[in-house]
Structure 1
Amino acid sequence: MNLREITENVKLAREYALLGNYSSASVLYQGVLQQVQRHLLTMREASLRAGWQKVLREITEENKQLDEIMATLANIQLNATPSNPNNDGDFISTHIKRRSSPCPAPREGRAGGGRPSVGVRQQPRYPPRGPNGERGRPSRGGREKKDPKEGKETGKHKDDKAKGEAQDGVVKKFDGSGYDKDLVEALERDIISQNPNIKWNDIADLEDAKKLLKEAVVLPMWMPQFFKGIRRPWKGVLMVGPPGTGKTLLAKAVATECKTTFFNVSSSTLTSKYRGESEKLVRLLFEMARHYAPTTIFIDEIDSMCSRRGTSEEHEASRRVKAELLVQMDGVGGATESEDPSKMVMVLAATNFPWDIDEALRRRLEKRIYIPLPSGTGRVELLRINLQQLELEGDVDMSKIAEHMEGYSGADITNVCRDASLMAMRRRIEGLSPEEIRNISREELHMPTTMQDFEAALRKVSKSVSAADLEKYEKWIEEFGSC
């Protein structure tokens, strides 16, 4: 995709809108929105994705304002002939009432401050007299005061409006009034994507964990009529396991299958040096999650935020943040009988130290799933996923390599594959000067990876999880697990 083309199209659309060529501007805006949405699906880096999401929201807002202007002009054209041509005041007030767009409509008549053109009817300075012969106050800027009761929207009307925006594909923008603008922007940066695009097939092994997550999170979104009453969805899900076993990937797969907005939250997101601001961040996070619902809030390393309360090392500010998080999690829950399933907010958490988590939080995370090290079949599958873009020699036996990696985590297996893929390059540049290395052609570096490269990598890369650690995880999940 040509980023320069997007920039030029946005500039051209704005110029058309300023010149009054609204139909051409609308076509350009729609094309730009489609290009940006396609570009977002291919991006992986969170910081770049957040920037492009901000651009998408701004362009969507401009396009929405343009649609409002076009709708206003269409209404004016439909009612161009007044019922009583002799009553100019009624004709003008009719058009003023029909203007609902906050954007100014294009002016006609005066050009360059000169006299009005012939055939254009001017608005009278004062409004017409009423039945008792008195004149009302002249309106300023062509706007009339509205009855406050008429301006208020009922809750049902707001819900219908939000559903209509979702069906039209318009990105809903969170109204951060009442909160610090910087706090809202900080949390919006943690929205990874409307769709992380990670499928279950992208994750090797972990079939039991996938099955449990589907039942706890995905199926309630697909079968909302079934998961009601006592069968209501779980309030939260805790994934427990050694480092590098795929807990974050599982959370992204859940967000993809549910088609939910994905918040990736860490302790740094909800921490501030100012008193009381961390609690505001926690509350704002859950309010934004309800706005962008259905939403998945993934809190990684939750033990760093919600360790046991009442210890001597605990600070007062940390205790307040924990209390606010527990209150918000109790209020967010799954969809109940009276709630719309499309507004469900699911809290997913991951930790490597489940024994340090506060008891109250453990109670709210009702489903506790163990994410173990990959099995023998899973290690072979992981090798195939990691090596699918790498050229291998015919002597490479993945089953034999997987046997030597018993006790390795998924991250350890990835490191072995990465180290083995660099072995051929290391042999090629050994003993060469920097100038000779720079002059090596791409064809010379194109060398397949051999079985000897994997054997050398296995000697260099050791497993990162000890047997004692595995015993602690299994003991905790046996006592507190909810599989």
Structure 2
Amino acid sequence: MNLTEICDNAKKGREYALLGNYDSSMVYYQGVLQQIHKHCHSLRDPALKVKWQQVRQELEEEYEQVRSIVNTLESFKVDKPVDFPNPQPEECPRDPAVWPPPTPAEHRVPAQVKRPNTGMKPQRKDSPGMQHRGPAGKGQPNAKQDRPGARDARTAKAKEDKGRKGAQEGVGDGEQKKFDGTGYDSDLVDALERDIVSRNPNIHWDDIADLEDAKKLLREAVVLPMWMPDFFKGIRRPWKGVLMVGPPGTGKTMLAKAVATECGTTFFNVSSSTLTSKYRGESEKLVRLLFEMARFYAPTTIFIDEIDSICGRRGTSDEHEASRRVKSELLVQMDGVGGALENDDPSKMVMVLAATNFPWDIDEALRRRLEKRIYIPLPTAKGRAELLKISLREVEVASDVDLAVIAEQIEGYSGADITNVCRDASMMAMRRRIQGLKPEEIRALSKEELQMPVTMEDFELALKKISKSVSAADLEKYEAWMNEFGSV
């Protein structure tokens, strides 16, 4: 952990708060609190850990103060136009049949200011005083009839804008903001809210072994713009789309969830079934609704898994008209998100992550919009050893188990293959324990009797049963595509 980076971010958060840039200050404070929380988990010295927790508590108090200032400023916003009274003294009631003297131009009251008109008697439309009154008169009926209607329209519009803004910003700190689905089918909105939105995937960088290059690029594309909003502007704006290419089971979905967890964004996990419907035109509405919700819940990560199934090449003979419309809408919405990013602050960022096992089937226009295309390879020897440690951290391991030897034996295995090997090996002892027992005897076994350590023999038996799932020919195809279209 870079302690200098923590100090710099804390200093910038305080400086932005003193300068009145409270939004950027809150972003820096959130980043520092996450960094200190992660650093505390890595400490082993109790005394040092207590000191860091005290620092984190002080920064949390500062963050709450900045947030209270923002809430106070929000409460000062004017709900509707204010009608100021006429500063001039009230005049005595006049006879409506008598014309008033003309008012000089320099003393005329502006049209938007409402003058008090106390003491005026109700007049009929055919009154001569109402028919011949000039523009300088006090009681123009047309102006008086039009003015309240115009003011009511302005007031209604101001309330509507205020309500929309309040819905987006949230009513209070303890309430979760809710997307306003006006204009959309409520069933579609509820389905996306229920099935897609995940605000805390709870996957961290430490849960992913190896893949340092991919982690570095994703930090640069998503996390750093949240911590350094003033730097990532103009030509240095964040990447609007990242495509992860690689064999199955190499950790592409895990990387996307780690991005959402580390930078605190709302995570949308999208598949082809999410964006398809049997009704004509509804799939395109789903695509548009997805991006509208993503902009509302920004900062957001949209992860489109197996994107080749949604946006394959257009113009092929077996392409359906509905499929083409969905692809076109997806491409339009992705460009719309990118255009908004150029002039928007990173706290409103919408990041599109995509993953595929068949990059050669993706449409050319989509490939252009996914500006960064990175290769997620099979784990190296060091990565395989780390994967074994991560998979076995909840299981007791016997002293004869040599993870380095096992890592050499599983060369060519993907991350999912290694997880399957560890799962099968951890169940070997239980299988031996219940062998030959009756169902009643199995149910009578205690938890301690089944908690037996995993041995080297268990791994050898598991390796005989589980083979690698990626062939050498597949790896050559990925490397050839990356050499032609890669953008690391």
TM-score, normalisation: structure 1: 0.68
Instruction: Tell me if the contact between 2:210 and 2:379 (Cα under 8 Å) persists in the aligned partners.
Output: yes
Cα distance between partner residues in 1 of 2:381 and 2:342? 44
1:423, distance to aligned residue in structure 2 (A): 0.6
Instruction: Tell me if the contact between 1:366 and 1:482 (Cα under 8 Å) persists in the aligned partners.
Output: yes
| Residues 417-460 of structure 1, C-alpha deviations (whole Å, 9 max, x = no match) | 00001111111122223333233333322221111001100111
Instruction: Tell me if the contact between 2:401 and 2:456 (Cα under 8 Å) persists in the aligned partners.
Output: yes
1:234, distance to aligned residue in structure 2 (A): 1.3
The residue that corresponds to 1:247 in the other structure is 252
Q: Does 1:438 align with 2:443?
A: yes
Equivalent position to 1:237, from 236, 239, 242: 242
The residue that corresponds to 1:284 in the other structure is 289
Structure 1 unaligned segments of length 5 or more: list them. Answer: 1-70, 72-129, 136-143
Q: What is the one-letter code of the residue matched to 1:244? A: G
Equivalent position to 1:325, from 316, 320, 330: 330
| Residues 224-269 of structure 1, C-alpha deviations (whole Å, 9 max, x = no match) | 2111111111120000011111111100111122211111111000
The residue that corresponds to 1:339 in the other structure is 344
Relative to structure 1, the CA distance from residue 198 to residue 131 in structure 2 (aligned partners, 3 Å threshold; closer, same or farther) is: farther
Relative to structure 1, the CA distance from residue 167 to residue 247 in structure 2 (aligned partners, 3 Å threshold; closer, same or farther) is: farther
Instruction: Tell me if the contact between 1:335 and 1:343 (Cα under 8 Å) persists in the aligned partners.
Output: no
Secondary structure at 2:242 match in 1: strand
Equivalent position to 2:226, from 221, 225, 242: 221
Cα distance between partner residues in 2 of 1:334 and 1:258? 22
- Root mean square deviation of aligned Cα: 2.5
Secondary structure at 1:297 match in 2: strand
| Residues 123-175 of structure 1, C-alpha deviations (whole Å, 9 max, x = no match) | xxxxxxx844669xxxxxxxx99812112239996797578638835322111
Cα distance between partner residues in 2 of 1:167 and 1:231? 34
The residue that corresponds to 1:300 in the other structure is 305
The residue that corresponds to 1:402 in the other structure is 407
Cα distance between partner residues in 2 of 1:160 and 1:318? 35
Q: Does 1:353 align with 2:341?
A: no
Q: Does 1:366 align with 2:385?
A: no
Cα distance between partner residues in 1 of 2:342 and 2:336? 15
Secondary structure at 2:158 match in 1: coil
Cα distance between partner residues in 1 of 2:349 and 2:315? 32
Cα distance between partner residues in 2 of 1:438 and 1:234? 55
Cα distance between partner residues in 2 of 1:170 and 1:438? 45
| Residues 66-88 of structure 1, C-alpha deviations (whole Å, 9 max, x = no match) | xxxxx9xxxxxxxxxxxxxxxxx
1:339, distance to aligned residue in structure 2 (A): 1.6
Q: Give me the identity figure in percent.
A: 76
Instruction: Tell me if the contact between 1:232 and 1:335 (Cα under 8 Å) persists in the aligned partners.
Output: no
What pairs up with 1:35-114 in 2 under 5 angstroms?
none
Structure 2 unaligned segments of length 5 or more: list them. Answer: 1-74, 76-117, 124-147
Secondary structure at 1:406 match in 2: coil
Cα distance between partner residues in 2 of 1:277 and 1:218? 34
Cα distance between partner residues in 2 of 1:263 and 1:336? 18
Cα distance between partner residues in 2 of 1:168 and 1:405? 50
Equivalent position to 1:175, from 169, 172, 180: 180
Secondary structure at 1:280 match in 2: helix
Instruction: Tell me if the contact between 1:295 and 1:344 (Cα under 8 Å) persists in the aligned partners.
Output: yes
Q: Does 1:413 align with 2:414?
A: no
Q: What is the one-letter code of the residue matched to 2:398? A: E
1:338, distance to aligned residue in structure 2 (A): 2.9
Equivalent position to 1:471, from 473, 476, 480: 476
Cα distance between partner residues in 2 of 1:290 and 1:336? 11
Instruction: Tell me if the contact between 1:261 and 1:296 (Cα under 8 Å) persists in the aligned partners.
Output: yes
The residue that corresponds to 1:377 in the other structure is 382
Relative to structure 1, the CA distance from residue 202 to residue 167 in structure 2 (aligned partners, 3 Å threshold; closer, same or farther) is: farther
Q: What is the one-letter code of the residue matched to 2:476? A: E
Equivalent position to 1:153, from 151, 158, 161: 158
Instruction: Tell me if the contact between 1:334 and 1:345 (Cα under 8 Å) persists in the aligned partners.
Output: no
- After TM superposition, the structure 1 stretch with the greater mean CA deviation from structure 2, 159-168 or 148-157, is 159-168
Cα distance between partner residues in 1 of 2:152 and 2:310? 48
Relative to structure 1, the CA distance from residue 163 to residue 327 in structure 2 (aligned partners, 3 Å threshold; closer, same or farther) is: closer
Equivalent position to 2:318, from 301, 313, 316: 313
Relative to structure 1, the CA distance from residue 367 to residue 166 in structure 2 (aligned partners, 3 Å threshold; closer, same or farther) is: farther
Relative to structure 1, the CA distance from residue 132 to residue 156 in structure 2 (aligned partners, 3 Å threshold; closer, same or farther) is: closer
Q: What is the one-letter code of the residue matched to 1:359? A: E
Cα distance between partner residues in 1 of 2:290 and 2:273? 13
Relative to structure 1, the CA distance from residue 336 to residue 286 in structure 2 (aligned partners, 3 Å threshold; closer, same or farther) is: closer
Cα distance between partner residues in 2 of 1:278 and 1:469? 33
Relative to structure 1, the CA distance from residue 155 to residue 250 in structure 2 (aligned partners, 3 Å threshold; closer, same or farther) is: farther
Secondary structure at 1:474 match in 2: helix
TM-score, normalisation: structure 2: 0.67
The residue that corresponds to 2:195 in the other structure is 190
Cα distance between partner residues in 1 of 2:418 and 2:477? 22
Cα distance between partner residues in 2 of 1:364 and 1:164? 30
Cα distance between partner residues in 2 of 1:456 and 1:241? 29
Equivalent position to 1:457, from 442, 449, 462: 462
1:329, distance to aligned residue in structure 2 (A): 0.4
Relative to structure 1, the CA distance from residue 428 to residue 340 in structure 2 (aligned partners, 3 Å threshold; closer, same or farther) is: same
Larger radius of gyration: 2
Cα distance between partner residues in 2 of 1:427 and 1:400? 24
| Residues 378-435 of structure 1, C-alpha deviations (whole Å, 9 max, x = no match) | 1111111111111111101111111100000010000000000111111112222333
Aligned length: 348
